[in-house]
């Protein structure tokens, strides 16, 4: 997730009469003739993820999305709107940052008047936080209006010379300022702001094909799902259980994870597949050391069947290279052979601390920490093979009625709506 340096926290920003919100993106700018499509999806996402704000209209303005109050009688956004923006912007994939701004004329006198009007409140808020010593000041000016008489660095110098003599505690601090004055001068308007909220970056949800996530109750797969969403993929989920050997609480836990993830994308479907018929057959007919690999191959086969049935183009897993026995390179190679569509593994090379940190940020970590047995623990081998050979695995599967096992697992499975918990047979 993107971070913005030198960004005052929300409580540091005074309640000013912001008449617009300037939303920035980065990767979408590389999309050439397709940029408009991505921008439209981004605007849809803004409306979907920010329903608690004052009703707004969002428009595209040459590399930016500009939000303004929808009711033309409402001139500004209030403090509650800004708090909602700060809280929920992290759910708008595609946004790199957003700033509540004062939209003014590009005339230098108009910009000066706006700074003179609003800077005293910003300075007063800073002195309240910092009763002694210097108050660090920086300005970030951006001039995309090439015909404008002052260049970016000239604008920065102009306002430094204007403000520093008037406010004696101000001192230039470009690396970690207490007050950050941002100015963007474009052909249509100038945008003045004092706070910048980081967004998650990536691409708007819906800009890539829909995929199916193999979602367990662990830490990794929800984070992998989030990362896939961040690349524009809307998602459905499949989870595997072993009822009655695993409790109903396991499905409730996964449904809670799906609901949390759906905050970032909207509604989804959760397919709950009972793997027990296959696990029993593998237990009874196959070498115990290969159970884990055989289980995973069955899961992947079933996931591919569901993906084909529901027109989902890829699978997503939380696999991390070398983390457990099924995730050695040799075993991943053998497991992957049964897939008939791409299998995305966003966390393949991540350090576990990275995964945990992101799980905490997106709100899945506490849910994943709930102790509930899952299907991976049922009939688990004491010494699982870590370097399974394809030929040996295929020979083990010759003793299994794979089609019958897949049909049996699906027959005891349901489709659940994460938002309501309602289930219907597959």
Q: By mean pLDDT, which of 48-52, 128-132, 376-380 is the weakest?
A: 376-380
Strands 235-241 and 190-193: unpaired
Range of the domain at 297: 211-425
Within this chain, do residues 172 and 220 fall inside the same structural domain, yes or no? no
Higher pLDDT residue, 22 or 13?
22
Residues in CB range of 161: below 8 A, 6 or more apart: none
Final residue belonging to a domain, choices 166, 198, 230: 198
CA angle (86 as vertex; 84, 88 as ends), nearest 5 = 65
Residue 151 maps to which CATH number?
3.30.2130.30
Q: Which two tokens stand for residue 332?
A: 């991943």
Are 294 and 286 contacting, i.e. CB atoms less than 8 angstroms apart? yes
Within this chain, do residues 179 and 225 fall inside the same structural domain, yes or no? no
The structural domain count of the chain equals 2
- Cβ burial of 268 (10 Å; 0-12, 13-18, 19+) is buried
pLDDT of the residue at 7: 45
Percent of the chain scoring above 90 in pLDDT: 83
d(CA 361, CA 137): 30
Residues in CB range of 33: below 8 A, 6 or more apart: none
Within this chain, do residues 223 and 191 fall inside the same structural domain, yes or no? no
Mean per-residue pLDDT, 78-100: 95
End-to-end CA distance of the chain: 36
pLDDT of the residue at 375: 80
Q: Which two tokens stand for residue 43?
A: 């605007």
Instruction: Answer yes or no: is pLDDT of 418 > 80.
Output: yes
Mean per-residue pLDDT, 18-28: 94
Q: Among residues 314, 304, 237, 302, which one has the least CA distance to residue 275? A: 302
Within this chain, do residues 269 and 190 fall inside the same structural domain, yes or no? no
CA angle (217 as vertex; 215, 222 as ends), nearest 5 = 50
Within this chain, do residues 297 and 156 fall inside the same structural domain, yes or no? no
Q: Where is mean pLDDT largest: 6-10, 346-350, 383-387, 411-415?
A: 346-350
Instruction: Answer yes or no: is pLDDT of 403 > 70.
Output: yes
Within this chain, do residues 256 and 349 fall inside the same structural domain, yes or no? yes
Within this chain, do residues 155 and 217 fall inside the same structural domain, yes or no? no
Q: Which two tokens stand for residue 143?
A: 């001039």
Q: Which two tokens stand for residue 136?
A: 């660090």
Final residue belonging to a domain, choices 198, 229, 254: 198
Final residue belonging to a domain, choices 150, 175, 198: 198
The position carrying tokens 């946004």 is: 95
Within this chain, do residues 74 and 219 fall inside the same structural domain, yes or no? no
pLDDT of the residue at 9: 44
d(CA 409, CA 426): 11
Within this chain, do residues 69 and 162 fall inside the same structural domain, yes or no? yes
Give the pLDDT band of residue 6 (cuts 50, 70, 90): very low
pLDDT of the residue at 281: 95
Q: Among residues 117, 220, 136, 221, which one has the least CA distance to residue 178? A: 136
Instruction: Answer yes or no: is pLDDT of 83 > 50.
Output: yes
pLDDT mean across residues, the chain: 92
User: Does the predicted TM-score (pTM) go above 0.85?
Assistant: yes
d(CA 175, CA 136): 9
Residue 43 forms part of a structural domain: yes
Residue 1 forms part of a structural domain: no
Q: Among residues 293, 262, 263, 257, which one has the least CA distance to residue 278? A: 293
Higher pLDDT residue, 125 or 426?
125
Mean per-residue pLDDT, 337-353: 97
Residue 203 forms part of a structural domain: no
pLDDT of the residue at 29: 87
Q: By mean pLDDT, which of 9-13, 70-74, 118-122, 266-270 is the weakest?
A: 9-13
Instruction: Answer yes or no: is pLDDT of 28 > 50.
Output: yes
Within this chain, do residues 304 and 410 fall inside the same structural domain, yes or no? yes
Within this chain, do residues 55 and 176 fall inside the same structural domain, yes or no? yes
Mean per-residue pLDDT, 398-424: 92
Instruction: Answer yes or no: is pLDDT of 382 > 90.
Output: no
- Cβ burial of 130 (10 Å; 0-12, 13-18, 19+) is middle
- pLDDT of 168-216, one tens digit each? 999 999 999 999 999 999 998 999 999 999 999 999 999 999 999 999 9
Helix/strand/coil (H/E/C) assignment for every residue in the chain = CCCCCCCCCHHHCCCCCECEEEEECCHHHHCHHHHHHHHHHHHHHHHHHCCCCCCEEEEECCCEEEEEECCCCCCCECHHHHHHHHHHHHHCCCCCEEEEEEEECCCHHHHHHHHHHHHHHHHHHHHHHCCCCCEEEEEEEEECCCCCCCCHHHHHHHHHHHHCCCCCCEEECCCCCCEEEEEEECCCCEEEECCCEECCCCECCCCCCCEEEECCCCCHHHHHHHHHHHECCCEEEEEEECCCCCCHHHHHHHHHHHHHHHCCCCCCCEEEEECHHHHHHHHHHCCHHHHHHHHHHHHHHHHHHHHHHCCCCEEECCCCCCCCHHHCHHHHHHHHCCCCCCEECCCCCCCHHHHHHHHHHHCCHHHHCCCCCCHHHCCCCCCCCCCCCHHHHHHHHCCCCHHHHHHHHHHCCEEECCCCCCEEEC
Within this chain, do residues 173 and 291 fall inside the same structural domain, yes or no? no
Query: Which neighbouring-strand residues pair with 272?
Result: 239, 414
pLDDT of the residue at 13: 61
pLDDT of the residue at 145: 86
């Amino acid at each position: 997730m993107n971070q913005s340096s030198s960004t005052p926290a929300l409580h540091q920003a005074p309640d000013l009469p912001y008449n617009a919100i300037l939303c920035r993106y980065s990767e979408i700018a590389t999309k050439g003739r397709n940029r408009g499509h991505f921008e439209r999806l981004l605007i849809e996402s803004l409306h979907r993820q920010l329903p608690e704000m004052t009703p707004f209209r969002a428009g595209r303005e040459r590399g930016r999305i500009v939000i303004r109050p929808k009711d033309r009688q409402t001139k500004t956004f209030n403090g509650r709107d800004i708090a909602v923006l700060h809280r929920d912007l992290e759910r708008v994939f595609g946004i790199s940052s957003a700033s509540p701004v004062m939209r003014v004329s590009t005339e230098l006198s108009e910009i000066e008047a706006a700074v003179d009007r609003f800077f005293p409140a910003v300075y007063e808020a800073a002195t309240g936080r910092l009763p002694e010593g210097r108050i660090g000041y920086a300005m970030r000016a951006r001039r995309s209006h090439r015909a404008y008489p002052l260049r970016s660095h000239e604008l920065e110098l102009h306002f430094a010379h204007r403000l520093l003599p008037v406010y004696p505690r101000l001192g230039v601090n470009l690396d970690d300022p207490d007050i950050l004055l941002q100015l963007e001068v474009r052909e249509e308007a100038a945008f003045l702001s004092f706070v910048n909220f980081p967004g998650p970056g990536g691409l708007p949800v819906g800009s890539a094909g829909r995929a199916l996530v193999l979602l367990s109750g662990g830490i990794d797969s929800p984070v992998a799902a989030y990362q896939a969403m961040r690349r524009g993929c809307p998602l459905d989920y499949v989870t595997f259980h072993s009822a009655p050997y695993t409790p109903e609480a396991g499905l409730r836990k996964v449904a809670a994870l799906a609901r949390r993830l759906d905050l970032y994308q909207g509604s989804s479907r959760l397919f709950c597949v009972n793997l027990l018929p296959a696990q029993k057959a593998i237990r009874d007919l196959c070498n115990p050391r290969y159970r884990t690999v055989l289980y995973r191959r069955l899961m992947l086969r079933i996931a591919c069947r569901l993906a084909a049935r529901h027109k989902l183009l890829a699978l997503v897993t939380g696999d991390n290279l070398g983390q457990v026995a099924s995730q050695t390179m040799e075993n991943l190679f053998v497991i992957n052979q049964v897939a008939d569509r791409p299998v995305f593994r966003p966390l393949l090379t991540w350090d576990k601390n990275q995964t945990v940190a992101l799980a905490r940020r997106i709100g899945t970590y506490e849910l994943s920490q709930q102790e509930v047995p899952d299907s991976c623990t049922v009939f688990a081998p004491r010494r699982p093979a870590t370097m399974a050979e394809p030929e040996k695995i295929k020979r083990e599967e010759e003793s299994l009625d794979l089609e019958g096992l897949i049909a049996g697992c699906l027959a005891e499975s349901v489709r659940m709506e994460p938002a309501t918990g309602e289930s219907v047979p597959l």
